[in-house]
Structure 1
Amino acid sequence: MPVNETLSTFSDYSFRAALLIYVLALAFYAAEQAFGRSRRQAVQRQRERELVGTGGRGDSSVESTAAATGRDTSDTDEESWSTISYARSLPDRVGRMAVALTVLGILVHLASLVLRGFAAGRVPWGNMYEFISVTCVSAVIAWVVVLRKVVARYVTAYVLLPVVILMFIAGTALYTTAAPVQPALDSYWIVIHVSTVAASSGLLLVPGVASVLYLFRRANAANPQRFAGFVSRLPSEAVLDRIAYRTTVFAFPIYTFAIIVGAVWAEAAWGRFWGWDPKETVSFIAWVIYAAYLHSRATAGWRGIRAAVINTVGFAAMIFNLFFVNLVTAGLHSYAGVG
C-alpha cells in the first residue's frame, strides 16, 4: 500500500505541535511551582495577622465562601483559608491552564498517531520513533487519570520532563518517515504485543518518577538542608508512595500480558517461545523487579524507602531496555528497533 504523504506530513506536524504544547505546559507547571509556594506562605502570614487583629475570629470572606459551597462555616483554620485564597490566585490559574494544555497536548498527540497509521496503512508503532510516541502519550494519559484521583499537580512537571526529552529524541535522532511495516513484523501480533509493551512502558514511567521523588523526600528527611527548596514543593511521602504503588498495580498485568503474547509471537515467527535474546532477557529482568516490588508490598509489608528503591531500579531497567538494548545490542529484535 503506498504511503499517503499528505497525511504523513500532517502527522509530523501534529507530533511537533504536541511536543511544543507539552513544553508550554511544563513551563506553566514550573511557574506555578516557583510562585505557588510563596503565595501560600503569604496567604498564611496574612491570615495570622488577621487572627491577631480580630482576636481569633474567622474572616467574613471565608464564611461567605463556605456558605456558598455548603461547607461548615466554623472551618476557618489557616489551611482552609489558605486553600480558598490560593484558588483565587494567579499561580493556581496558571496551574489550571497547564492542565488544560496537557489535555490539549494529548489530543494533538493522539491525532499524530492516528494520521501516521492512516498514512502508512498500518498500526502506528512499527519503529522506534512511533513506539516512543505511543509510550509517551500513554504516560501522559496515565498521569492525567492520576491527577483526577490525587491532588499532586506539582508533580506533573517531573512527569512531563522525561516525556518531552523522549519525544525530542524520537523526533530528531530516531525519526523515521512513514512506510509500510517490515515483512518480519507483518503480523496481527504486532497489534497486540507492541501496543501493550508501549502502553505498559508509558504507565510504568509514572511510578518510576513518583519513586524517584519519594527518595528525594526521604533524603531531605534525613538531612533537612538537602534539597530543601526542591522537596518543599512536592506532595507528602504517603502520596508519592500511593501513586507509585497503585499505578504499578495497574500497569504490571499489562506488562505481563505483553511478555506472554511476545513469547507466543516468537514461537510462531522463530520456532521457540524464549531464546534469551537481549531484549527478552532485560524485559524479563524488569518483570522480576516489578514482581518483587509488588510481592514485597503485599507479603512483607515493605513500604517507604525499600519499596521506592526497588521501583526505581525497575524504572531504570525499562529505560535501559528502551534505549541501550534497542540501539546498541544486536539481537532478533534489532531489525525494527521496536520494544
Structure 2
Amino acid sequence: MSTLDLAELSDLGYRSAVAVYVLAAALLACELASVRTSTVVRREARRQLVGSGAPAVPPRRSTLPGRVEVPVGRSLADRLGRMGVALVALGLALHVGSLVLRGISAGRAPWGNMYEFTSLATAVTVLGTLVVLGRHTVRPLSVFVLLPVVVLMFIGGTTLYATSAPVVPALQSYWLVIHVSVIATASGVLLLSGIASLLFLLRRHHAEGAEGSSTVGRLARLPGAQVLDRVAYRTAIFAFPLFTVGVILGAIWAEAAWGRFWGWDPKEVTAFITWVVYAAYLHARATAGWRNTRAAWINVVGTGVVLFNLFFINIVVSGLHSYAGLN
C-alpha cells in the first residue's frame, strides 16, 4: 500500500471519528433530556401522591430470604448513555488509527503541523474523558467535552488541514517527538480541566438560582458541583507537570536549534503566561476562600490562553514558532 493510500485512509479515519463523536454526543444529549423528563414526571407524581394522602415514597417490593432480586432492566436514558460512551470509545479508536496512519504515511511523528497537533490534543481530551468516566459518575460531562472536540476537529480538518508530507528542516529533529507530544498531551488534558471548571461554575449558578427558573431545568442533570471541581483539579494536577516539562524541553530544543534557551518569542511568551495562569489556579485551588468559584474562573481563563496560543499565536503572529502548515 502506497503512502498516498495510507494518507487517504488516515483522512477517512479522521472524518469517521468526527462523525462517530457527533452521533455519540447526540445519544448522550438524548440521555440528558430523557433523564430530565423522567425526573420531572416522577417529581410531579410524588406531589400528587402526597397531596392525596399517600406516602411520598411507595413501599419497595419485599424479597424472599436468600433470594437475589434481579433488576427488571435499565432505563431508556441509561441505555442511551451506555451506547453513547461505547461510540466515544469507537470514535477514539478511529481517531488514534488516523494518527497512526498519518505518521506511517509521512514517515515521521504525526504532530508536525497544526492539523496534526489539534488531532492529537483532541484525542487526548477524549481519552481523558473516558478515564474520568471510569472513576466518577459524570457521564453528562461527555456531552460538553465532545462539543468543543468536534468543533476543534472540524476546524482542524478544514481550515488547518495540511497534506501528509515531511516537515520543514527546522522540525526534523527527535525533539519533535518529545517536546510536541508532551505539550499536546498537556493541552488536551487542560482542555478537559477547563470544561469541567466551566460546568462547575454553571452548576454553582444553578444551585444558587431561583426554583422554577429555566436555567434550573436545563442544568439539573449536570454532575454535582464538588465532583466537577474535583475532576477539574485532578486533571490540572496531572497536566501541569507535563506542561512544565514540555516548556523545559522546548527551551532545550531552542538552545540546540537557535543557540539560546529563551528568546521571548511570541510562542514562548504565551507558554510562560499559560504556565503562570495554571500555577495560579493550583495555588488558588489550595487556598481557603479561593478554592471555589474564583479558582474555577482562573482555570477557565487558562483554557482560553491555551486556545489563544494554539490559534492566534500560530496563525496571526509571526515568530520562530510559525509552523502552522496551512497549505
TM-score by length of 2: 0.91
How far residue 298 of structure 1 moved from its aligned partner, in angstroms, is 2.7
1:180 offset after TM fit, Å? 1.0
TM-score, normalisation: structure 1: 0.88
Q: Give the 5 Å matches for 1:115-194.
A: 115-194=101-180
CA RMSD of aligned residues (A): 2.5
Aligned to 2:59: 58
Q: Residue 77 of structure 1 corresponds to which residue in structure 2? A: none
- Aligned ranges for residues 150-299 of structure 1 at < 5 Å? 150-224=136-210, 225=213, 227-299=215-287
List per-residue Cα deviations over 1:40-78 (Å, max 9, x = no partner): 3434555777896579663217x58x96379xxxxxxxx
Gaps of 5+ in 1: 71-83
CA contact (8 A) 2:46 2:56 kept: no
Instruction: Name the residue aligned to 1:317.
Output: 305
For residues 137 and 254 of structure 1, the distance between their equivalents in structure 2, rounded to whole angstroms, comes to 16
Residues 246 and 56 of structure 1, relative CA distance in 2, 3 Å threshold: closer
Contact 1:216–1:227 (CA<8 Å) still a contact in 2? no
Count of residue pairs brought into register by the alignment? 321
In 2, the alpha carbon distance for the partners of 1:98 and 1:211 equals: 23
AA partner of residue 131 (structure 1): F
Q: 1:124 to 1:25 in 2, by over 3 A?
A: same
Which of 292, 316, 326 aligns to 1:328? It is 316
Question: 1:110 corresponds to which residue?
Answer: 96
Residue aligned with 2:286, SS: helix
Q: Check 1:67–1:217 CA distance in 2 against 1; reply closer, same or farther (3 A cut).
A: farther
Q: Deviations over 1:5-53 (max 9, x none)?
A: 0100100000000000000001111111111111234345557778965
Kindly indicate whether the alpha-carbon contact (under 8 Å) linking 1:205 and 1:315 is maintained by their aligned counterparts in 2: yes
Corresponding residue for residue 78 of structure 1: none
1:8-27 correspondence to structure 2 within 5 Å: 8-27=7-26
Cα distance, 1:319–1:69 mapped onto 2, change above 3 Å: farther
Alpha carbons 1:121, 1:180 under 8 Å: kept: yes
Paired letter, 2:114:
M
1: CA distance between counterparts of 2:69 and 2:88? 28
Instruction: Identify the range of structure 1 (329-338 vs 92-101) with the bigger mean alpha-carbon deviation.
Output: 329-338
What's the % identity of the aligned pairs?
53
